[in-house]
Structure 1
Amino acid sequence: MAYVDADHACGQSGAGGSGLAVVSANDLRGLSGETIVPACEKANGAEIAGRCRWIGGMGHEMLHTLGLIHPDRSPACQTAQCRSEALMMHGYVKYPNAALLKEESLSLNRSLFVQDQRIENLLDCTAP
């Protein structure tokens, strides 16, 4: 995960794949609770406050490094509800209320870099 201390341009966002994820200064600001700097005159839906959203974004990009893609072409994620809840679509803005699709979980379970272990006590990302 590479955090670049630079603002992205309007229409840009983070990116992840082939073992590397790159995100901008807003991700650092969001994780540390600082004010987000909108890239466009009209803020987009991804540029929202709250540490949970930025943790979700970090997870989304990190999962790209492990080979997951946006599931918008998956038969399992053709509804607006699925796309709004799926971590690999728009669910990252709702983290921790985001989900992986079953096919994504199966793919990750085949990875040598992932261990299937449930964490019962997640830290509260809404705390200051």
Structure 2
Amino acid sequence: MIHGWRNWAVPLQDWGRRELARAVASGGGVADPAGAGTGTGAGTGAGFATASFHVEEPADTHILLPGSGRGYCWINDFLLGRYDEGGPQRSLYCPAPLLQAGENTVTILETEHLGATLELRERPDLGSAEEYIEQF
């Protein structure tokens, strides 16, 4: 039985560069999600992770986090969205204006388990097609 439990809402949509940097620096880091990229953190559990990647020319991109549970993704300090391994979608859409030519930063807040890689793709991963039959 748990006693004295307290919780509070964290307004993630208002977080910017300063709040993300403070959260990552506070020791909430996990593994580098990009693998070959440059990143911070150690382990594979819940927490924050950051990585950087180079883009020659910004273009619409779809971000996948295979092996990750659920959490939030920021691109260059912009909250891109929430992901969940249970779906319904398997990728997050990142419009070209959020990326810049050169170095870009991705920050992940993983609440369950962080996968070993982060993938940037040209097309979305919408999951497998499912047949829907309505019964009356």
Higher relative contact order (CA 8 A, sep 6+): 2
Q: Is TM (by shorter chain) over 0.5? A: no
Structure with the larger strand share: 2
Comparing both structures, which one devotes a greater share of its residues to helix?
Answer: 1
Greater C-alpha Rg: 2
TM-score range, shorter chain: under 0.3
What is the TM-score when the length of structure 1 is the normalising length?
A: 0.27
